[in-house]
Chains A and B, each alone.
Chain A
Amino acid sequence: MNYSSETLNIISGFYEYCKTGEIKSAGESLYDKEKIAVYRDLVVNNIKNVLIQAYPITYATLKDGYFDKIVNEFISLHFFETPFLWKMPEEFIDFVAQSKYGEKYNIPFLDDLLLFEWTEIEIHTLKTTDCDNSQSKHGLYINRAAKLLRLNYPVHLFAPFATVNKYGHYFLLVYRTADFDVKFADLQILHAYVFEKLKDNFSVGEILKEFSEITSIEKTSLENNILDFVNVLLKEEILIKK
């Protein structure tokens, strides 16, 4: 590093101002306040706009300036790791969860809502070369552009604030079709379990055998239920024949 401590202070002070909106006292005389405010506005607007695009439902749902408040704290406090601005909203999810904004502002579904919205982007943009079928032992594999979410609030079924009193266990399958559309399927717990087993490379026969050993549910009905679900997965190309 060839910067002198003086130059480093100039750069660091400028960066800190853009990030927090606060000028360190030592730097007060160095900066034209009106002009550097342009940079602060550009930083805030850029990050905020990308977050609004990624989380339109969250943005529309949060009232009383909560969205702006959280975003401002995110910009000031978060260490932005990704060099790819389009991926930055994923870092927002962890920041919000770790800061417990859901609890603090009485928005219990907040973490689930962000995850739900981000997963749509994640699946929509997932690289097809990420599909790895080499581990499949039995001729079937799960399309990598498919992800199972476990949610505590059914934000995929109801308007966000209508979910406040519906705490529970919800399973949402998010997947991409061959036409690049992202689809959502609300799954029963049984189907979520089967999906996870298929993903873990169990064959349909192995899954059926496992159920016949651990459950007292009438065998044919259970088998038919699982096989119907597997057929839906095949039809939707969530489950793919090798």
Chain B
Amino acid sequence: MDNINIGLGFRRELTEAFLTGEVNPDFIEVAPENWIDIGGYWEHVFNKITDEKPLILHGLSLSIGSPEDIDLNFLKKIKKMIEDYNVNIYSEHLSFAKFNNAHLYDLLPLPFRYDAVKHIVDRINRVQDFLKMQITLENVSYYTTVEPEMTESEFINEIVKHSGCGLLLDVNNVYVNSVNHGYNMHEFINSMPLDSVRYIHMAGHKKISEDFIIDTHGEPVIGEVFDLFDYTLNKMKTNVPVLLERDFNFPEINELNEELASLRKIAKKHVAHELFI
């Protein structure tokens, strides 16, 4: 066993490939919001696939940055899914998706401000207390900042440090943000609390112009993002699960398998490196 975990997001369009074993990742990831309360055919398929593969949850609606109280009814459902499917990682986004309890179903950026850090840390603690587990939060891609008092890196570090949450390091988001906001991606990785990284995401994006990229999850992972992944693993001391995200515009299965193989190859290189340390 090389202790490498390379996963793939389970999307309904990929059902046949999963059921036939045409695609065979080490684990799957889903958004719990897309499966909670679902019965019938899709529940049957979901149970079949999760019988075979470990499951990681990557939520969309927790809205950790919202001003209002945590929605405990929603969190109860998340907790039940975590228990029912023996989930070890429940990840979410460092963003907000609702205001005054009204959802918008998108990941909106948080202002990098001191009071926001305090507010979010309190909410993370409430969620972790309720779930009785550490949660893992993702550095999101963002297209604009509003009245920041600190850098994105400082914002993430402060939140991780004071809440004890894990970090889901989305390497593609680091690349996207570095282009959109003109920072050095390697310096950004160096500045991250890498000891707190519990999970890594890799994905494709859409380049709109030289200095503007949209994080789509609908394209293949580009070489520079693979290189940044390699760079990141080289800096990290432990192995964590790595997920290939693909949400639409699905290619032939062999192309997805090639991407999974590329991730495995890079991860393997660093495990070998670790053995000699």
Identify which of A15, A35, A83 contacts B61 (C-beta below 8 A): A83
In the assembly, what is the distance between CA of A8 and CA of B36, in Å? 31
Q: Is B230 part of the contact surface with A, judged by Cβ < 8 Å?
A: no
Residues of B within 8 A of A180 (CB): 40-41, 44
Contacts A11-B67, A79-B102, A80-B102 given; does A85 touch B108 at CB 8 Å? no
A30 and B40 form a contact (CB under 8 A): no
Identify which of A3, A14, A125 contacts B42 (C-beta below 8 A): A125
A127 and B43 form a contact (CB under 8 A): yes
Contacts A4-B115, A129-B39 given; does A47 touch B67 at CB 8 Å? no
Interchain nearest-CB distance for B128 vs A (Å): 17
Contacts A1-B119, A31-B146 given; does A14 touch B108 at CB 8 Å? yes
Chain B contacts with A in 57-109, Cβ cutoff 8 A: 60-61, 65, 67-68, 71, 74, 96, 98-99, 101-106, 108-109
Identify which of A16, A86, A145 contacts B38 (C-beta below 8 A): A86
A128 and B39 form a contact (CB under 8 A): yes
Q: Is A140 part of the contact surface with B, judged by Cβ < 8 Å?
A: no
A15 and B144 form a contact (CB under 8 A): no
In the assembly, what is the distance between CA of A12 and CA of B38, in Å? 32
B67 and A35 form a contact (CB under 8 A): no
A interface secondary structure, majority: helix
B104 and A18 form a contact (CB under 8 A): yes
Chain A contacts with B in 104-149, Cβ cutoff 8 A: 123-130, 145
Most buried by B among A15, A19, A32, A130: A15
B32 closest partner in A (C-beta): A84
Residues of B within 8 A of A82 (CB): 103
A126 and B105 form a contact (CB under 8 A): no
Contacts A84-B33, A125-B40, A127-B38 given; does A32 touch B144 at CB 8 Å? yes
Interchain nearest-CB distance for B89 vs A (Å): 20
Identify which of A2, A30, A46, A130 contacts B147 (C-beta below 8 A): A30
Identify which of A1, A18, A36, A129 contacts B67 (C-beta below 8 A): A1
A84 and B36 form a contact (CB under 8 A): yes
B40 and A8 form a contact (CB under 8 A): no
B118 closest partner in A (C-beta): A2
Residues of B within 8 A of A10 (CB): 111, 146-147
Which range holds the interface residue count of chain B?
Answer: 35 or more
Q: Is A64 part of the contact surface with B, judged by Cβ < 8 Å?
A: no
Interchain nearest-CB distance for B116 vs A (Å): 6
Identify which of A47, A88, A124, A127 contacts B37 (C-beta below 8 A): A127
In the assembly, what is the distance between CA of A35 and CA of B115, in Å? 24
Q: Is A59 part of the contact surface with B, judged by Cβ < 8 Å?
A: no
Identify which of B43, B60, B115, B214 contacts A85 (C-beta below 8 A): B60
Identify which of B40, B113, B143 contacts A126 (C-beta below 8 A): B40
Q: Is A170 part of the contact surface with B, judged by Cβ < 8 Å?
A: no
Q: Is B122 part of the contact surface with A, judged by Cβ < 8 Å?
A: yes
A47 and B105 form a contact (CB under 8 A): yes
Interface string of A1-39 (1 = CB under 8 A from B): 111101110111011101100000000001110011011
Q: Is B34 part of the contact surface with A, judged by Cβ < 8 Å?
A: yes
In the assembly, what is the distance between CA of A116 and CA of B2, in Å? 52
In the assembly, what is the distance between CA of A126 and CA of B41, in Å? 9
Interchain nearest-CB distance for B81 vs A (Å): 12
Q: Is A199 part of the contact surface with B, judged by Cβ < 8 Å?
A: no
A36 and B74 form a contact (CB under 8 A): no
Residues of B within 8 A of A125 (CB): 37-40, 42
Interchain nearest-CB distance for A178 vs B (Å): 11
Identify which of B37, B38, B101, B143 contacts A38 (C-beta below 8 A): B143
In the assembly, what is the distance between CA of A111 and CA of B214, in Å? 37
In the assembly, what is the distance between CA of A227 and CA of B36, in Å? 39
A-B residue pairs in contact (CB < 8 Å), sample of 18: A3-B116, A7-B113, A10-B146, A18-B106, A18-B108, A39-B106, A39-B108, A46-B106, A80-B102, A80-B105, A83-B71, A83-B103, A84-B61, A85-B61, A123-B40, A125-B38, A125-B39, A128-B40
Other contacts beyond A3-B116, A18-B104, A83-B61: 8, CB < 8 A: A10-B146, A35-B144, A36-B144, A46-B106, A125-B40, A128-B43, A180-B40, A180-B41
